[in-house]
């Protein structure tokens, strides 16, 4: 295997599997609603991130280079959305009560990828490092595939972690604490964007 590919996979995995907004939402969802009801979130994140990477490679990377203040706008919009999600998660009723509908939807996670500061910065970093002008098409396809696989694997892993933690949920108080912890993790992600 080519050393550049190993480095791409390593960096992509380290960015994708570390705690972040997508992963916190997936854990919350699988914990409260099960993996089946979390599939829409898994698809939203995986497909949304893949589309983001494709758009960045073939259309937007030059826009970000020309107008760097767009990254600041994304950071602010992403922060507002994450605070909104943290609120929804913190005050959701969870599975234990009559409402069993997941408050986080496919379209929210899909479109969030375009204003997710962590995801956008990760994609820009990987593209600028691993898409070469000499082998533009082949290196672009490699980056797209690695980013897509990483997105699906990481979001699924975090969903399975949430489902696993559900085994320890013996009462409503534990469920509330878990939801608050996921909300705090989201707010922590927002804070990390400004440090």
- The answer to whether residue 106 sits within a structural domain is yes
Q: What pLDDT shows up at residue 70?
A: 82
Q: What pLDDT shows up at residue 133?
A: 81
Token digits of residue 42: 């898994």
* Of 65, 30, 47, nearest in space to 119 by CA: 47
- The answer to whether residue 39 sits within a structural domain is yes
Q: What pLDDT shows up at residue 97?
A: 44
- The answer to whether residue 3 sits within a structural domain is no
Name the stretches of the chain with pLDDT < 50.
1, 96-98
- The answer to whether residue 104 sits within a structural domain is yes
Q: What pLDDT shows up at residue 94?
A: 52
- The answer to whether residue 41 sits within a structural domain is yes
In this predicted model, what pLDDT tens digit does every residue of 2-58 receive, in sequence order? Answer: 778 898 999 899 889 988 889 999 999 999 899 999 999 999 999 999 999 999 988
- The answer to whether residue 134 sits within a structural domain is yes
- The answer to whether residue 77 sits within a structural domain is yes
Query: 12 CB contacts (<8 Å, ≥6 apart)?
Result: 122, 126, 146, 147, 150
- Determine the Cα–Cα distance for residues 144 and 95; give it in Å rounded to an integer: 36
| Residue numbers of the domain that contains 151 | 21-192
Contact 114, 75 (CB under 8 A): no
Q: What pLDDT shows up at residue 67?
A: 82
- The answer to whether residue 7 sits within a structural domain is no
Q: How many domains does the chain have?
A: 1
């Amino acid at each position: 295997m080519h050393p550049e590919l190993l480095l791409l996979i390593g960096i992509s995995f380290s960015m994708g599997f570390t705690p972040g907004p997508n992963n916190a939402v997936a854990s919350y969802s699988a914990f409260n609603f099960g993996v089946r009801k979390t599939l829409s979130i898994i698809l939203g994140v995986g497909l949304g991130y893949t589309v983001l990477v494709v758009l960045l490679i073939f259309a937007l990377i030059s826009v970000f280079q020309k107008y760097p203040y767009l990254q600041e706008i994304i950071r602010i919009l992403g922060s507002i959305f994450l605070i909104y999600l943290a609120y929804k998660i913190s005050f959701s009723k969870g599975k234990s009560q009559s409402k069993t509908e997941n408050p986080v939807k496919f379209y929210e996670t899909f479109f969030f990828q375009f204003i997710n500061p962590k995801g956008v910065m990760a994609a820009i970093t990987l593209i600028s490092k691993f898409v070469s002008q000499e082998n533009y098409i082949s290196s672009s396809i490699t980056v797209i595939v690695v980013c897509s696989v990483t997105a699906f694997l990481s979001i699924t892993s975090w969903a399975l972690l949430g489902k696993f933690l559900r085994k320890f949920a013996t009462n409503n108080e534990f469920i509330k604490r878990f939801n608050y912890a996921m909300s705090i993790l989201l707010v922590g992600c927002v804070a990390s964007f400004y440090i």
